[in-house]
Amino acid sequence: MNWLGSLQQFGRAVMLPTMALPSAAILLCVGSLPWAAWGIPAVADVCTWAGQGIFYFLPYLFAVGVAWGLANQAGPAGLAALAGMFIYDQITRHLGNGDIQPATLIGIIFGAIAGIVYNRFKYIKLPEVVQFFGGSRFVLLFMGLFSAMFSWVMLFITPFLQRGLNELTLLMTHMGGFGLLLYGILYRILTAFGLHHLLNNVFWFQLGSFKTPEGQIVQGDLPRFFSGDPTAGTFMAGLFPIMMFALPGIALAIIQEAREDLKPKVKKTFLTAALVCFLTGVSEQIEFAFLFAAPYLFVLHAVLSGIAMWLTYALDIHHGFSYSAGAIDFVLNFHLSHNAWLLIPIGIGYGLVYYFLFRWAIRRFQIPTPGREEGSTLDDWAGNIPYQAPLILEALGGKENIVQVESCITRLRLTVKNDRMIDSNALKMLGSAGLIKLGGGNVQVVFGTYSELIREEVNKLMQRDLPQVLFCAPVQGRMLPIEEVPDHIFAAKLVGDGVAFMPERGELVSPVLGTIMHIYPTMHAIGISTPEGLEVLLHIGIDTSQLKGGHFTAVVQEGDKVSPGQLLVKFDLAYIRSHASSLATPMVITNPERVKSWSFAPFRIVKKGQASVMSVVLHDRNVGGLE
């Protein structure tokens, strides 16, 4: 695993504990309401202490979350990291001078050590007399000893570390708006690689310190903001105009520049994306719509984001969030902000600039944003994920190619054996907004806010050894449901069940691994038997059996072994279009009683031999006499 891939995994792990922060923000907001005037002051006390409790124990959450993330959700790693934090707290509290308190950075260190040790020694074998401490239990023993030594050393070096953080705070203070500009640019660029959480952890959870009225020391722009520090919120305020207005402006530009025939679907998808971004600040679905198609626009977007940070600093605007810079956090935390009302006119101005700028750029440079080309990401994923998951797994190279699959809010984060086996076209057809290869087998696939659900379904498939057959596209053209074939026999599934295609080229290839079972005399249809016992019929066009003159040429013979993508038949596309009832080419399984469940890719344009257009799960393993 190279350094970029390691950072990807670490960034994902660091992000995990922040998922507890929205609940803290809601509790603090509810606690700030005038419950005493309403006669129930206890509600304010409960909500306030509950919200503050999450921030107080945030270092412990980071320790468990980082260890859990790095160790692929292994419980012993998280338990070991938590034990390390308890040891650190006791040693620094009783042997220190009172200035050392558990910090987020310490939690991350313990979590990272516990995760690394677990991955390295989870299968370790010790001498028989102490084998009780072998395997995954070794990490608990190790962390207990390591934490004690580490905590003792920290008693001596913490003052120097604190001095370093103070110097960094002073440096950022002296840089003023320019420092915010650099932060904003770097934040947006790292977002493309999924590494922005590493940057944010320094500024949101490490930079600056504030002593609460209760005497607690909190560090970082985010905890200080929620603890009432009037100087906090500078590293978050500038993100609100971008998330709430600028990126939705891009979504509207994409809708307006879409082709008229695709505009209804584009409108549905990107109005939803704009609303999600406005409310929650989840922006990847919009950003990845133009990131790969026009990276220079993404660079401009990064610069404009940095300018927004500088502008909010110059206007002395302080605002913060627990999750992201969306309208929900804007409203929930408004009572803690300063000059936050200025974010609305700034945001409206940014939205207009982004809208007109992107409309002009898309039209001027013919940028293939969604809706301007047939392979756009337009489907509604809700309800389809269990059926799409087998095809997604196949597009990722199959179960054998997957080493690890995780997810964050908007993307799958994978480690694969060979990233060249990933079919980017198939992933795009299945709903992916982008594919990022970081090297060393580390890849990210952007699926939007359904990524976590997709990960769960893919993991279920990884854990089950299902008797499954996967089909690639037998022709280049548009895929359509079998019910839409203009022939009653096929449409009523009297021959078998499956899908159909409207070919654009005169070549038919094998969709599966198998043996040529039968070639019709006119060569317009061909039958294939798979090793699993499925019988597949490919029928070129409708009412083509009566065509004379050798318009079909088979390049295989009965009994030949064929593999997916191998050429089977060449045919005269123009002649068939003119003389046949239809070009519709069914691909059906003629013994569908062997099939337990079916999965179909979206019915769009496909390439010849493209993987993951159909997947079936068989009723049992012992099919066709094969073990």
For residue 162, what pLDDT is reported? Answer: 66
Band of residue 622 on the pLDDT scale cut at 50, 70, 90: very low
| In the chain, where the domains are located | 3-180, 238-365, 384-464, 469-618
> What is the distance between the alpha carbons of residues 389 and 582, in angstroms, rounded to a whole number?
32
- pLDDT tens-digit map of 24-40: 778 877 877 878 888 88
Per the DSSP assignment, residues forming a β-bridge with 211 are 217
- pLDDT tens-digit map of 199-237: 777 788 877 888 888 777 788 888 889 888 998 999 999
For residue 101, what pLDDT is reported? Answer: 63
In the residue annotation, 29 being an active-site residue is answered as no
- pLDDT tens-digit map of 316-373: 999 998 878 889 889 988 988 999 999 999 999 999 999 999 999 988 888 877 777 5
For residue 10, what pLDDT is reported? Answer: 72
- Considering only 150-159, 524-533, 612-621, which range has the smallest mean pLDDT? 612-621
Among candidates 410, 408, 89, which has minimal Cα distance to 247? Answer: 410
Per the DSSP assignment, residues forming a β-bridge with 218 are 210
For residue 380, what pLDDT is reported? Answer: 47
For residue 375, what pLDDT is reported? Answer: 42
Q: What's phi and psi for 391, nearest 5 deg?
A: -75, -35
For residue 436, what pLDDT is reported? Answer: 80
Q: Are strands 217-219 and 209-211 parallel, antiparallel or unpaired?
A: antiparallel
Better-predicted residue by pLDDT, 413 or 243: 243
DSSP 8-state code for residue 596: E
514 exposure class (CB count in 10 Å sphere: 0-12, 13-18, 19+)? buried
Strands of the sheet containing 561-562, edge to edge, are 561-562, 514-519, 525-529, 535-539, 585-589, 497-503, 477-481, 605-606
Strand, coil or helix: what is 285?
helix
For residue 474, what pLDDT is reported? Answer: 94
Model pTM? 0.60
For residue 350, what pLDDT is reported? Answer: 95
Q: Is the pLDDT of residue 435 over 50?
A: yes
Whose tokens are 């756009």? That residue is: 376
- The Cβ of residue 458 has, within 10 Å, a number of other Cβ atoms equal to 23
At 493, which amino acid appears? K
> What is the distance between the alpha carbons of residues 606 and 583, in angstroms, rounded to a whole number?
15
268 Cα distance to chain centroid: 21
What are the structure tokens assigned to 280, written together?
Answer: 């929650």
What is the length of the chain? 627
- Work out the angle at residue 449's Cα, subtended by the Cα atoms of residues 446 and 453, and round it to the nearest 5 degrees: 95
Q: What topology does CATH give the domain 469-618?
A: Glucose Permease (Domain IIA) (2.70.70)
- pLDDT tens-digit map of 495-516: 999 999 999 999 999 999 999 9
531 Cα distance to chain centroid: 35
Q: Is the pLDDT of residue 536 over 90?
A: yes
Give kind and range of the element (H or E) at residue 415. strand 411-416
Q: What percent of the chain has pLDDT over 90?
A: 30
- pLDDT tens-digit map of 361-416: 988 888 877 777 544 444 444 446 776 788 888 888 888 888 878 776 667 888 88
Among candidates 452, 445, 451, which has minimal Cα distance to 423? Answer: 445
549 exposure class (CB count in 10 Å sphere: 0-12, 13-18, 19+)? exposed
Q: What's phi and psi for 263, nearest 5 deg?
A: -60, -40
Answer whether 219's CB lies under 8 Å from 103's CB. Answer: yes
Q: Which of 127-131, 185-189, 296-300, 309-313 has the highest mean pLDDT?
A: 309-313
Q: Is the pLDDT of residue 282 over 80?
A: no
At 117, which amino acid appears? V
Better-predicted residue by pLDDT, 595 or 128: 595
What are the structure tokens assigned to 221, written together?
Answer: 């722009």
Q: Is the pLDDT of residue 2 over 60?
A: no
> What is the distance between the alpha carbons of residues 343 and 242, in angstroms, rounded to a whole number?
10
The predicted model gives 453-458 an average pLDDT of 83
Whose tokens are 């709903």? That residue is: 431
Per the DSSP assignment, residues forming a β-bridge with 582 are 542
For residue 194, what pLDDT is reported? Answer: 60
Distances 377 to 31, 445, 455, 457 between C-alpha atoms, Å: 42, 13, 19, 20
The reply to whether 469-618 shares the fold of 384-464 is no
Better-predicted residue by pLDDT, 118 or 171: 118
Answer whether 299's CB lies under 8 Å from 191's CB. Answer: no
For residue 373, what pLDDT is reported? Answer: 56
Answer whether 522's CB lies under 8 Å from 576's CB. Answer: no
Those residues with Cβ within 8 angstroms of residue 406's Cβ, 6 or more apart along the chain or in another chain:
9, 12, 69, 72, 412, 413, 414, 455
The predicted model gives 144-162 an average pLDDT of 84
Band of residue 193 on the pLDDT scale cut at 50, 70, 90: low
Which member of 29, 47, 408, 472 is catalytic?
Answer: 408
For residue 490, what pLDDT is reported? Answer: 92
- pLDDT tens-digit map of 4-17: 556 666 766 777 77
The predicted model gives 71-97 an average pLDDT of 86
Whose tokens are 């013994």? That residue is: 591
> What is the distance between the alpha carbons of residues 225 and 221, in angstroms, rounded to a whole number?
6
Answer whether 600's CB lies under 8 Å from 613's CB. Answer: yes
Answer whether 491's CB lies under 8 Å from 482's CB. Answer: yes
At 390, which amino acid appears? P
Band of residue 54 on the pLDDT scale cut at 50, 70, 90: confident
> What is the distance between the alpha carbons of residues 120 and 14, in angstroms, rounded to a whole number?
20
Among candidates 543, 565, 540, 536, which has minimal Cα distance to 553? Answer: 540
The CATH code for residues 384-464 is: 3.30.1360.60
129 exposure class (CB count in 10 Å sphere: 0-12, 13-18, 19+)? exposed
- The DSSP-derived string for 237-249 is HTHHHIIIIIHHH
- pLDDT tens-digit map of 552-601: 999 999 999 999 989 999 999 999 988 888 999 999 999 999 888 888 88
For residue 199, what pLDDT is reported? Answer: 75
Strand, coil or helix: what is 68?
helix
Answer whether 481's CB lies under 8 Å from 499's CB. Answer: yes
Answer whether 525's CB lies under 8 Å from 540's CB. Answer: yes
Share the mean pLDDT of the chain.
Answer: 83
At 397, which amino acid appears? G
